[in-house]
Chains A and B, each alone.
Chain A
Amino acid sequence: MQEEVKNNNIQTAKAWKPKILAIFCNWCTYTASDLAGVSRLKYPATTRVVRIMCSGRLDPQFILTAFSEGADAILIGGCHPGDCHYATGNYKCLRRFHLIQKYMKQMNIEPERLRLEWISASEGKRLAEVIGEMTETITKLGQSKIKQQVANIEK
């Protein structure tokens, strides 16, 4: 009880805002992110982008590491089915996404904290919308406790 009050105090002292790791493929979603910028679309400063060449490079451990280091959510962006710059990398990404979803369920992590979106190079607007929506969802959901839990286990 006391601890809860303390936590709340900390949160109000420095208003918590979600931190979302965004893993984008170079050819579609990263380019869409550039387009959103060039078009001066506005979205909340909640994402931190890591660029990989293809969403097929997505290692499930990227997700788990990010959660255990304090990510409130993770957004994965790749090319639309059939549009992958490397033919089929996005399908492999999708398989791993399903795998991670299962694992998250087992670990009792809210499914909203992981999202996969196909966003093509021309869909800057879509990108801004997704980030807006996700920020809203995660803000409602609250801060992720995974980092704390992992720390407790390690203790």
Chain B
Amino acid sequence: MSNNKEEIRIGVYICHCGHNIAGAVDVVGVAEYAAKLPNVVISKDYKYMCSDPGQELIAADIKEYNLNRIVVTSCSPLLHEKTFREATTKAGLNQYFMQMVNIRENVSWVNENFDDATEKSKDLVRAAVQRVAFQRALEKQKVPVNPNVLIVGGGIAGISAALTMANAGKKVYLVEKESTIGGHMAIFDKTFPTLDCAACILTPKMSSVKNHPNITLWTYSEVSNVEGFVGNYKVQVTRKPRYVIEDLCVGCMLCVEKCIFKEGKFPDEFNQGLSKRKPVYVPFPQATPLVAVIDDKTCIHFKTGKCTQTCKTACDRNAIDFDQKPEIKEIEVGTVLLTTGFQAFDAKKVPYYGYGKYPNVFTSLEVERMVNASGPTEGHVLTREGKAPKSVGIIHCVGSRDEKTHKWCSRVCCMYSLKLAHLIKEHTGADVYNFYIDMRTPGKGYEEFYDKLLHEDVHFIRGRVSEVTDWITSPEEEGKLIIRAEDTMIGMVRRIPVDMVVLAVGMEPRDDAQEIRKMFNISCSTEGFFLERHPKLAPVNTFTDGVFIAGACQGPRDIPDSVAQAGAAAAEALVLIDSGHVELEPNTAYIVDEICSGCKSCLNICPYKAITFDLEKNKSSINVALCKGCGTCVAACPSSAIKQNLFEDVEIFSEIKGIFVE
């Protein structure tokens, strides 16, 4: 506040941003207009304010003209507020004496009429000039950062990040929803384009996670509550009962063998339902931790209570405990990495491809399990009748690049379809047809892999498939599935009879992504993937400080990219941890004792219980450590006794008046 009656000396800087602003707003006119506003000492326009010379221009003027307030009229404060605050600080002025005006995202990029846009820019500059006069010097709060980290999701991204952080000496809590880590990568047989065996490169990493002294691995667990702020999160993790005591079980499989069910009866999730499992099971031989789990929805004990509990008697380590209850763990961490991954598109949503209707229409994930030597068919690609197919059609872009389902390209399907084409050909010698829209193979060695397939006698038909049908028109088509597609290369519709159809399903946000998003207070982009702070410059950061994202939860991506992002997210978290403390915006609220009447209106309104009532003084008081600076109490106080730093009434009112009053 200008209560010390200092003379307000404002410098206004209008950025051209190349043509970004100057092309749609009369920047020179705005600068000339600003120069005439009260308290403005100097007003300049410059090509790129955020560049070094631009920042130096401000610093030099602060000294030369003895400026004590700065208005930078350029892009969004969410992008460059930090830059200009730093420039202000460097010149020896408190950074909160700087106010930004957004005439790029809010004006030049969205408003087409040159005169209107210029008029609007002038209004906004005038508002900021009036506001900045009331701004006060403030200091950032420093709070220590808890060095522990929480990683949610144990797929390849979570595993990589966990190992990086743990190797850097940080305590890592890795929370996984399923009973084992590994995620989607554990399901795959081979990885493109090198055809590395997925298990061979993944399972050693899974064991490293299990054995790392710095990693606490909680599988079959979910985050149930999150409180706190950057550097200081309090997280509640619910460990679901697996009815097997993890510390006692050695994964000997005796319980599975002795289960009252002699054969598997329920769809095996890991094998995509291609095989059956018992109520007590280990998802796959390399599951980590290698601990059995009892599914209480199918186990007779839980359904009727009348089981002889043969599994329990079989276990010589007394590891089975039917009375296990959900266990709540409370942890404190400074940073959070979300690596929750994706889910495959449900092929039943495109009924014209016949998944669920024709038995020999498979999804790509089912075929991944089939070609896997430890899969349900021991590596044989078989139709539902148990025969090796003589011809196979792979349909690309199922649930991708489609107005009716998802508009985005899932980025991995072309490459994994090529991989599956190669593997199917290798396993069965069948004729393989790829139906694609465009072949998208950007990546190291990817195009070369495509080229290799072109020489492997795999057929490529360019065109979107219209339907898969069993409606035959000639005796040769008897017993086959017909793929109807336009071949845009020859300009005609073709019918290809095949024994097996593989649908290359795309990637989509997980059903529970919204829940997780809300819990960690981050945003999603339109399609439902987690939103990064900046698509290019902050791809693993979120708008919530201390929460980072990596892998397919942020958008479709393959294994190399997920691992790279996991590394980036881990590095970002390490920067926070190793700097030891974070600086918080001082936009907290405070109470002016002399004005507070003790009416208690504010007490119940604070979502963080930061306001308490001092009975002795008969006044409310705010605990700054708990206040997050929303300003709700400020607006609720009937006596205007509560103020919010950076957003004081006088600042906002002067800004509003500045917009309208010339």
Interface residues of chain A, those whose CB is within 8 Å of chain B, are 17, 19, 21, 26-28, 30-31, 33-34, 36-38, 40-54, 56-62, 65-66, 69-71, 82-83, 85-89, 92, 96, 120-123, 128, 147
Contact = CB atoms under 8 A, between A and B. Distances in A.
B655 A57 contact: no
Contacts of A42: 110-112
The residue among B110, B113, B524 with the most chain A CB atoms within 10 A of its own CB is B110
A81 B106 CA distance: 25
Contact of B124 (A30, A48, A52, A57): A48
Nearest to B124: A48
A66 B657 CA distance: 7
B110 A128 contact: yes
Given A34-B76, A37-B110, A38-B105, A27 B656 contact: no
A43 B631 contact: no
Contact of A40 (B76, B110, B123): B110
Contacts of A70: 660-661
A66 B79 CA distance: 28
The 8 closest A-B pairs by CB, nearest first: A37-B105, A57-B631, A56-B632, A86-B630, A45-B111, A45-B116, A54-B630, A87-B607
A86 B78 contact: no
B531 A37 contact: no
B523 interface: yes
22 contacts: A27-B523, A31-B523, A33-B105, A33-B106, A36-B105, A37-B104, A37-B105, A40-B110, A44-B111, A47-B106, A49-B102, A56-B632, A59-B649, A62-B653, A85-B544, A87-B607, A88-B607, A89-B607, A89-B632, A96-B635, A122-B526, A122-B531
A71 B123 CA distance: 12
A36 B104 CA distance: 11
A37 B657 CA distance: 25
A40 B656 contact: no
Interface in B35-90: 76-79
Contact of A41 (B110, B127, B660): B110
B659 interface: yes
B109 A37 contact: yes
A121 B522 CA distance: 10
Contacts of B634: 57, 59
B448 to A, nearest CB: 35
A40 B79 CA distance: 16
Contact of A85 (B123, B521, B644, B653): B521
Nearest to B644: A57
Contacts of A61: 653
Contacts of B525: 122
A52 B543 CA distance: 16
A58 B660 CA distance: 18
B117 interface: yes
A17 B123 contact: no
Given A19-B123, A88-B607, 6 more contacts: A36-B110, A37-B109, A45-B119, A50-B652, A53-B644, A56-B632
A104 B84 CA distance: 40
B657 A65 contact: yes
A150 B631 CA distance: 29
Contacts of A33: 105-106
B116 A83 contact: no
B214 interface: no
B629 interface: yes
A54 B649 CA distance: 14
A27 B524 CA distance: 12
Nearest to A120: B523
B523 A122 contact: yes
B631 A52 contact: yes
A17 B109 CA distance: 20
Nearest to A54: B630
B261 interface: no
B527 to A, nearest CB: 8
Contact of B543 (A46, A57, A121): A121
Contacts, number: 151
B78 A31 contact: yes
Given A57-B632, A86-B630, A69 B123 contact: no
Interface in B605-662: 605, 607-608, 628-632, 634-636, 644, 647, 649, 652-653, 655-657, 659-661
Nearest to A96: B635
B110 A53 contact: no
Contact of A27 (B518, B543, B587): B543
Contacts of B116: 17, 44-46
B103 to A, nearest CB: 10
Contact of B659 (A21, A26, A28, A54): A21
B422 interface: no
B277 interface: no
B15 interface: no
Interface in B93-112: 102, 104-107, 109-112
Interface in B489-528: 518, 521, 523-526
A55 to B, nearest CB: 9
A149 to B, nearest CB: 15
A26 B114 CA distance: 27
A97 to B, nearest CB: 12
B518 A83 contact: yes
Contacts of A120: 523
A87 B228 CA distance: 12
B432 to A, nearest CB: 39
A59 B644 CA distance: 12
A66 B660 CA distance: 8
A61 B107 CA distance: 26
A80 to B, nearest CB: 10
Nearest to A33: B106
B656 A50 contact: yes
A34 B81 CA distance: 14
A49 B121 CA distance: 11
A16 B629 CA distance: 38
B644 A48 contact: no
B120 interface: yes
Nearest to A36: B110
A50 B518 CA distance: 26
A4 to B, nearest CB: 23
The residue among A28, A48, A96 with the most chain B CB atoms within 10 A of its own CB is A48
A13 B60 CA distance: 43
Contacts of A147: 660
A54 B632 contact: yes
A34 B127 CA distance: 19
A111 B336 CA distance: 44
B635 A66 contact: no
B110 A86 contact: no
A48 to B, nearest CB: 5
A65 B653 contact: yes
B118 to A, nearest CB: 9
